[in-house]
Amino acid sequence: MAIDKKSYTKTRYTSIKVHKDGIKFWFDFTLDGKRYSKLWNSNINHTKADRLKSSYMELERLKGEIVHASSITADMSATVNTYFENLKTKWKGETLKKYEFYHAKYIQDSIGKLKIKDVKAAHFTSFNKTISHLAPSTRKRAYEILQPLFRLAVEDEIIVRSPIKAIHIPVRNQLSEKKVVTDAVTKYKIIYKTINTLFNSEELVVLEDKKTIQCAVNPHHRAIFLFGFHGRRVNEVLSLEWTDIDFVNNQYRVRGENSKVNTDMVFSLPSDIREALSTFASTGRVFNINEVQHYYKSIRKISGINEFTFHWMRNLSVSALSSMGVDLTHLTAMLGHTDSSTLKKYLSLQREASTAVTNDMSAKLLEG
C-alpha cells in the first residue's frame, strides 16, 4: 500500500516520521546503500513519548534483522523439519528411534513445517495446546527435540535467539507422577513367579474364566522381563549388546546413547538374568525384537494384576524393596536416576555396588 507522505511529520529521529494520528510511524532509512521503507503501528494506550521511544526500538530491531540476514550463509528457507534431519546424527540407537517416532507423530505436520526463522514464541503456546492431552513426560520430550534445533539455528546465525521460553517447557513433578503400588511385596512375588511360569515352564495355566494359557521355556523373553523386574527401562533392555554383558565380573552396562540420562551406567548382573542369558549367549544385539507389549495380556491374566506394564515394574520394585528396608541410596542407583534433586544428595552413587545390594534383598524377599 502506498504511503501518504503528506500525513507524516518529522520526529527527533532522522529515519522516523509520525502520522498525524500519532499512532502510525514511517521508517525510511538506508543500509549498505539500499533504501528501506516500512510502516509500523505503535500501542494506542501508550503516551506520546513512549510511542516514539518504542518506534525507535523497533527501528533498531529491524535494522539488526536486516544486517543479520545479509551476513549469514545458511539456508534461510530451512524449516524446523529440515533442522531435525540435520541434527539426527546427534542422537543414536534407541534414543534416535524414540525421537524420530515422536517427531513424526507430533511435530512434523505442525510446528515442523514452519521456516525456523519465522517461528515465534506464540507458536509454542499454540503447539503446547495440541499436546496438552499427553502425559507430562511425553509433552516434555517435544522440547528435548526442539531446543537443540533452535540452538543450532542460533549458531548458524539464522536466528538471533531461540523463541522457546522457559514457560513453554512442561515442568514435571516426579514425585506426583510416581504411582504408589499397594500391597507391593505380595505383587512383587506374584509377578516374579508369573514371569518364570510364563517363560520358564511348560505349564498349561487355567484361568478363572476356564480359558488356558500355554507356557513355554523361553529364556530370551524371560531375561527381558527379568531385566524390567530388576529396574531397567524397556529401551535400555532391548538395546543391549553382548559386549555390554560381563559374565566374568557379573556386570552389565547400559550405554549412554540408549539411556534416559545420556551417560554410561554399570549395574550388577542378577543371578536369574545371568542364568537365562547364558543359555543363548552370542554376538551382536542380545534381544532382536522391538517391543514386548503383546505379552502384557498373558502376564496380567496369570498374575491377576491388571496394572502390570514393563515400566510399572520399576515402581513395584521400589515399593517392595523400600518396604523391606532397602536404603533410598541403593534404590536410586538401581533405577539409574541422575535428576538434579537426587544427584545433589547422591553425587557418589555406585550403581554396581548398590544394585548388588538390591539384588540380594530381592533374592531374600522372594525366598520368604
Q: Which three cell numbers stand for residue 113?
A: 513445517
Q: Are 267 and 355 in contact (CB under 8 A)?
A: yes
Contact 185, 320 (CB under 8 A): yes
**pLDDT attached to residue 342:** 45
Q: How far apart are CA 235 and CA 103, in angstroms?
A: 18
User: So what's the pLDDT on residue 87?
Assistant: 84
pLDDT, block means (10 residues), the chain with 368 residues:
85 94 94 89 91 92 75 74 86 79 94 94 92 86 92 86 89 56 90 96 91 95 96 92 95 85 86 95 90 92 94 88 79 68 41 72 81
Tell me which CATH code domain 181-367 carries: 1.10.443
User: Quick one: pLDDT at residue 349?
Assistant: 45
* 260 neighbors 233 (Cβ within 8 angstroms): yes
Query: Running DSSP on this structure, what letter comes out for residue 25?
Result: E
pLDDT value for 347:
34
Virtual torsion, Cα 94, 98, 99, 102, nearest 10 deg? 170
| 3-state secondary structure at position 188 | helix
Q: Reply yes or no on domain 80-172 having CATH 1.10.150.130.
A: yes
Task: Give Cα separations from 172 to 71, 180, 234, 355 (angstroms).
Answer: 40, 17, 21, 26
Domain regions of the chain by residue span:
5-71, 80-172, 181-367
Q: What values do phi and psi take at 197, rounded to 5?
A: -70, -45
Task: Identify the pLDDT of residue 109.
Answer: 94
Distance (Å, rounded) from C-alpha 104 to C-alpha 89? 17
